[in-house]
Structure 1
Amino acid sequence: MIWKVNVKEKLQQVDDYWNPRIVGELNGQHVKLVKFQGPFVWHKHDHEDELFFVVEGQFIMELEDGNVELAEGDFIIIPKGTMHRPVADKEVHVMLFEPASTLNTGDAESDLTKTDLERL
């Protein structure tokens, strides 16, 4: 079945942080929506690249060799094996593109780890 997804409407259904929701699938990839606020955990994904697209707001992607500031309309691709940590001073809305096998906290299990993602 083919349908359209309104990203802003889907994000209105998200009322917590660091809990990605699946809104689409293609070629073994999930399209996820998530809201960030505060710091996440340092982690890496040994087998998956990730794409973070800022829908609304801004955040900093901390990397071992420096930080990257992202604002609305920006995206960043984090290659597999790269240590990273997103940090948002204020609420930010993000769309993620990543393989369906990707665990949100990668190699660092914590209370923020989500193994069974909700679909919106």
Structure 2
Amino acid sequence: MQHISHVQQIELKHNNLVEQLAREAVVPTEWAPPLVGPAFAYRRRTRVAVRYDAQHKHVQVGFRGLASKAIVEVQSCVILSSELQPLFAGLAALLNSFQQPHVLGHIELFSG
């Protein structure tokens, strides 16, 4: 949801909750204000897609495209926690140095 503003993300999530509760015949008479965290650097876990491109002798590192096995290569991710951002940034170089990078399919990073 990074393509919409933080305020819009909160509204969308609230509307989604309202719809889900309505499906179960739960209609609150009053809502508490939403719990809101930071807009960036909040994610403490991610699964990173990895694929070795034999033609270019290069490890692709990124995230899978929507409903696809294609990898969208990225060098940084602003929603990752500050502890994970440096690890993510150096991941492609590290994996390219491996003797058998073609055996990798994904890497999971987590903090905390």
Shorter-chain TM-score: which interval? under 0.3
TM-score (structure 1 length as normaliser): 0.22
TM-score (structure 2 length as normaliser): 0.23
Larger proportion of helix: 2
Q: Which fold has the larger relative contact order, with Cα–Cα distance below 8 Å and residues 6 or more apart in sequence?
A: 1
Larger proportion of strand: 1
